[in-house]
């Protein structure tokens, strides 16, 4: 159990941070009470993890063979990377930190599944782009029907509210299905957990983060999205959820934050306004290289550190 | 949409219609008060109608406060909350102008001279038409939102007409040989009467923007 602590911490921090991507705007705008959002998010994260979490685990455990010690090191390294980058307010993706840490150990073992890695990296790059394309399509389709609905202001309001809750729940499902691999995949690779136990434990640790520490993140980070009108916020949420779900089916854990940024960019394109600053896009590019590199270096450092033995001389 | 889930929204909706009723009642009493004033000057009936105008303006105010409380109780999406509160605050100016005019007539013992009486009646008739259209437009906004733009044009046209009548009345006042002090008093009253249609025009444009904003 002790060996799983790094993974559980990673799951906890993932839940605490990424729940804001699905329910942040609704909670920050007081459209949904925090506890309603937290309970819905927890339930759907667990459901997503249990029903569709296996594919991502297969991909990550296939990147390089790990023994239990290496699995623990890579999991702790990813957790440390996420913590350090969060403390320094640097853009961070748990998925990229986990893959970076696994790669660090893979380099040491001189055994990296290059095609598998290529697939993962391609999906990272495709995440914001996918978010953008899907949000443009969703905006156009939904707007076509929404503008033709014969409903009054109050009914439109209620419809948007219910849709935001529905889309948030779907987003939580996609988050659980996609990101559970980040939490426990390395332990499946090391033979420490079965697939079912991995998705269950991963889902529960993400839930722990949502239920214990996501409130402040939802209320502060969520405000960034509140600047969008409710319809655009709904489009962003749906686009993010669909994008992440697509990558879940492909079997690659991706960054929900980057899917959100892509979706916000897409809404901006449709409306002809600038919704995302250049700096945010540069941060994504920066994160693609920086996060895995730092995680790999930390994993290598930890691994070397635990190999050091005191050898008395003379 | 299931009523059970959106109790507060339904309460807000019902209160808005109640607010509009009080606004309309306040306008009717104001019209009666002015008619009494035109026919007999400040009299008992005028005082009675003034009190009723105030009573319904107060009731409308209370309803507005209730709506505000519900809004702060997280009913509706933030954007809709802002739109509705802004609209109610803008509408609230209209009954306040009614009261202001009646209080001017009462406290300053204003007598509307015959030479402008018919023009005043015309100015107020057009302004009242605008009030009715404005209420209809707000109801349309909270109904199926069709036909708002057509009402904007009519209200805008009426507002221009009121401006024209107002200028004519002020010219007549200053061309007359009334006491200069009385001229200034009457001018102030006429300007306030003109404010009714100006405000309905502002509200109408606001309603149009709210309606357009809902188009995505």
pLDDT of residue A312: 81
Q: Over 60: is that where the pLDDT of B187 sits?
A: yes
Confidence band of B4 (pLDDT split at 50, 70, 90): low
pLDDT of residue A52: 97
Per-residue pLDDT reduced to its tens digit, A194-237: 999 999 999 999 999 999 989 887 877 666 655 788 899 899 99
Per-residue pLDDT reduced to its tens digit, B118-140: 999 999 999 999 999 999 999 99
Q: 3-state SS of A218-245? A: HHHHHHHHHCCCHHHHHHHHHHHHHHHH
pLDDT of residue B130: 97
Tokens of B52: 């009723």
Q: Cα dihedral angle (A135, A140, A143, A145), rounded to 10 degrees?
A: -120
pTM: 0.85
Helix %, strand %, coil % of chain B (to 5):
85, 0, 15
Which residue from B minimizes the CA distance to A149?
B144
Question: Do the interacting molecules here have an ipTM over 0.95?
Answer: no
pLDDT of residue A222: 65
Low-confidence ranges of chain A (pLDDT < 50): none
With an 8 Å Cβ cutoff, are A153 and B141 in contact?
yes
Q: Over 60: is that where the pLDDT of B2 sits?
A: no
Per-residue pLDDT reduced to its tens digit, A258-273: 999 899 999 999 998 8
A-B contacts (CB, under 8 Å): 57
Q: Is B76 on the interface with A (CB under 8 A)?
A: yes
With an 8 Å Cβ cutoff, are B216 and A229 in contact?
yes
Residue carrying the six token digits 């509200």? B203
Of B5, B78, B142, the CB nearest to A153: B142
Q: Over 70: is that where the pLDDT of B164 sits?
A: yes
The Cα–Cα gap between A156 and A160 comes to 6
The Cα–Cα gap between A303 and A71 comes to 10
Confidence band of B5 (pLDDT split at 50, 70, 90): low
Q: Is B8 on the interface with A (CB under 8 A)?
A: no
Average pLDDT, chain B: 92
With an 8 Å Cβ cutoff, are A156 and B214 in contact?
yes
Identify the residue among A157, A223, A234 best suited for mutation to test binding to B, counting B beta carbons within 10 A and taking the highest.
A157
- Nearest CA-CA distance, residue B216 and chain A, Å: 6
pLDDT of residue B74: 66
Q: Is B4 on the interface with A (CB under 8 A)?
A: no
DSSP structural state of residue A63: S
């Amino acid at each position: 159990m002790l060996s799983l602590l790094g993974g559980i911490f990673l799951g906890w921090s993932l839940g605490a941070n990424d729940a804001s991507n699905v329910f942040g705007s609704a909670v920050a705008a007081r459209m949904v009470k925090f506890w309603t959002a937290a309970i819905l998010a927890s339930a759907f994260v667990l459901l997503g993890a249990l029903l569709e979490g296996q594919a991502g685990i297969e991909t990550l455990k296939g990147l390089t063979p790990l023994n239990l010690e290496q699995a623990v090191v890579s999991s702790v390294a990813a957790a440390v990377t996420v913590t350090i980058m969060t403390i320094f307010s640097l853009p961070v993706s748990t998925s990229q930190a986990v893959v970076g840490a696994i790669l660090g150990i893979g380099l040491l073992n001189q055994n990296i599944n290059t095609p598998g890695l290529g697939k993962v990296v391609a999906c990272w790059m495709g995440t914001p782009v996918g978010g953008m394309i899907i949000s443009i399509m969703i905006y156009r389709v939904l707007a076509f029907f929404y503008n033709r609905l014969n409903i009054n202001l109050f009914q439109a309001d209620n419809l948007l509210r219910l849709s935001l809750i529905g889309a948030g729940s779907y987003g939580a499902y996609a988050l659980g299905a996609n990101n559970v691999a980040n939490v426990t995949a390395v332990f499946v690779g090391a033979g420490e957990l079965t697939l079912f136990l991995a998705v269950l434990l991963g889902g529960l640790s993400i839930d722990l983060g949502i239920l214990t520490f996501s409130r402040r993140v939802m209320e502060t980070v969520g405000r960034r999205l509140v600047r969008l009108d409710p319809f655009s916020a709904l489009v962003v949420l749906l686009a993010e959820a669909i994008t992440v779900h697509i990558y879940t089916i492909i079997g690659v854990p991706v960054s929900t934050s980057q899917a959100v940024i892509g979706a916000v960019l897409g809404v901006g394109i449709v409306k002809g306004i600038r919704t995302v600053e250049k700096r945010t896009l540069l941060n994504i590019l920066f994160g693609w290289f920086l996060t895995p590199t730092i995680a790999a270096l930390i994993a290598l450092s930890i691994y070397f550190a635990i190999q050091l033995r005191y050898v008395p001389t003379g | 949409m299931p009523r059970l889930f959106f109790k507060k929204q339904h309460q807000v909706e019902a209160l808005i219609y109640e607010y509009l009723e009080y606004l309309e009642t306040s306008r009717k009493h104001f019209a009666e008060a002015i008619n009494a004033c035109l026919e007999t000057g400040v009299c008992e009936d005028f005082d009675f109608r003034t009190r009723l105008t105030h009573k319904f303006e107060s009731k409308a105010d209370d309803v507005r406060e209730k709506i505000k409380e519900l809004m702060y109780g997280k009913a509706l999406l933030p954007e809709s909350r802002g739109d509705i509160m802004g609209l109610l605050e803008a509408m609230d100016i209209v009954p306040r102008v009614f009261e202001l005019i009646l209080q001017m007539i009462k406290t300053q013992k204003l007598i509307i001279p015959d030479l402008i009486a018919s023009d005043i009646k015309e100015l107020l008739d057009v302004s009242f038409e605008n009030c009715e259209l404005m209420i209809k437009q707000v109801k349309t906004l909270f109904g199926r939102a069709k036909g708002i733009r057509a009402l904007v044009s009519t209200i805008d046209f009426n507002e221009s007409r009121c401006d024209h009548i107002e200028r004519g009345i002020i010219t007549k006042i200053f061309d007359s040989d009334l006491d200069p002090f009385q001229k200034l008093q009457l001018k102030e009253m006429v300007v306030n009467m003109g404010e009714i249609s100006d405000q309905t025009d502002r509200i109408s444009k606001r309603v149009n923007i709210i309606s357009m904003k809902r188009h995505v």
